[in-house]
Amino acid sequence: MQLKLKPYHLNKYPLRAILIKGVSIENWVQSIEGLGLRLEMVEVYPLPGLVANSNWGCLVFFKNVKEIKDIGKYEFCQLIDDKLFIPEQSQILPLLEKKELDRLFGSQRHLFHPEIGIVELSKPIDWLEVLDVPTERAVEVSRPMDSIYKPSKVKSFQVFAKPPEEVLKDLEENVFPDKAKMEDKPLGMMEKMRLKFYNKMFEGGSGSVGTGALGNLPAGALAALGKMLGHSGSTGSADFMNRLKNDFENLEKRNQNEIEKLLDMLKNDPKEALKYAIPLDDTGAIRGGLDGQFNMSRRWGDFSLFGRQPTGRGGGVDFGEHYYKLRQQYIDTAKELTRVGEYEKAAFVYMRLLKDYSQAAKTLEEGKLYQKAASIYLKFVEDKEAAARCYELGNYTLEAIEVYKELKEDEKVGDLFLKINDVKSAHIYFEKVVEISKEANQYVRASIIYREKMLKPNRAQETLLEGWRNSEIYECLDRYFGHIYEDQERLLAIRQIYRDDINDRTVPKFIRSLKKEYANETEIKLPIRDIAYELISKRIKTNRSAASDLTAFNQADKELVKDTIWFRNNG
């Protein structure tokens, strides 16, 4: 029997192999891997060439053509009854029955070779025999240290605050400069005598040099006077006279009233003046006096907001109108320090000098020094709400939570727990708010907590329904329907409420809710109107004014409005 191949436009038999042309086994392996196949997935048969002991290529046999996504330059082969491979889009003539194939080819597969003819595929390649597998060797692998975890999303941010006592101590030790002594020394005996002499010689106390009694003295007397006063030089020179004048002004300044010195310093150099400032009592006295005297040398020991009192012996001095001048100057100084951003020094003035703790805390809060402001609110003002607010503004969340707990602000506590992503703790406090709200008949508020803060819409709906059934609250019914977004589901809920919960007392509220639902352009308008008609028809029997409700469901019918008015008024 002579077998021939004939081109055919279809593949009558399954595609089960690929022909790869080339003499090198290495080339075959590369080609197979290039097709996305692993050697253990296929059987590879070498094909003989025209010359003895040569290779034409190989046939790669596989179970399913779907295993190959792209065949590239290679050709498929069809497999006839697991006996004979022929090229794709061809058929063998004459057509052979299975018995004829078994008789011709026995148990071995054969290939209709592209160049030689039919060849037997005796044994697939054993890769262990032809491939040189590299020898495995042990490799010691060093494991790197665990890297630092970098979250892709920051879920919360907070600052951990120090205890109030530590904050106050830090202010005491670090906010203000060390104490300083006044450079001016008290006038000595001779200096006092000179000043007294100058006052007599210069008319008006600070008059022009060369006038008054001093200006009428002979030259010899002036020279003797200059020598006595320690001023040498020609008595007629302007330089001599200027030195006398400067000496007089210096002595006069050093002899100036201490309060006036402090007032001038507060105006001209407030930061320096704070070293010498003294606190004012509410009674109008100035603390820190000694034997009825105020001396600039009696000043702060540490210049801080808190801690030790001014140095020096106790006692008070009443300075009369000087008290009000000094108090006003302290206020002006604090405002100026605030204006230039010196919030801590301004707070020092309010708290230590004016004893206004509340304004001191407000000043620190204005300067966004929230932890320090909170500490003063807690320890001196006893204003926990303000302290909690400052902790919250400064992102001291845990401290804010503790203060809000004391204030029993459960909803605020829950909000702050959510802020630091502690959902479990947040829900504990939100549940407290829900229970308190229900007890106070505030079911709408409770439903908002469930829906917006706990993200439990089903519980929110249950709460609204509970508020309607227990307390007949219209807002609960209105929100209950409003949160059902599918028309048919909302109609089902309306019918259920109508069937189970409506009585003579709740009908007006239910009809009010139906009016609102009917006003929306939905596909359930007509069923809602039918329910309303049923209710209104029952009410009309005992309450003729109920007929007015019909107009809400028939706004285009102007005659109906007239009829309902007539019906209502002629009952």
Cβ contact 78:16 at 8 Å: yes
Whether the predicted pLDDT of 284 surpasses 50:
no
Helices (H), ranges, 440-544: 443-448, 457-471, 474-482, 487-500, 507-519, 525-540
Low-confidence winner among 77-81, 279-283, 307-311, 502-506 (lowest mean pLDDT): 307-311
SS3 174: helix
How would residue 247 be classed by pLDDT, with cut points 50, 70 and 90? confident
pLDDT at 156: 67
| pLDDT tens digits along 11-30 | 888 888 999 988 888 889 98
If you write DSSP's letter for every residue of 375-390 in order, what string do you get? Answer: HHIIIII--HHHHHHH
What digits encode the pLDDT tens for the residues 354-392?
A: 889 999 999 999 999 999 999 999 999 999 999 999 999
Structure tokens at 185: 């020394």
Q: Where are the alpha helices (DSSP H) in 229-356?
A: 238-254, 258-268, 270-273, 321-339, 343-348
Mean pLDDT over each residue of the chain, to the nearest integer: 80
Rounded mean pLDDT, 210-225: 58
DSSP state of 316: E
* C-alpha distance from residue 562 to each of 493, 549, 569 (Å): 34, 13, 11
- pTM value is 0.56
Nearest to 378 by CA among 170, 173, 163, 176: 163
Reduced to 3 states (helix: H, G, I; strand: E, B; else coil), residue 242 is helix
Reference 74, options 40, 109, 35; nearest CA is: 35
In whole angstroms, give the CA distance from residue 246 to residue 251: 9
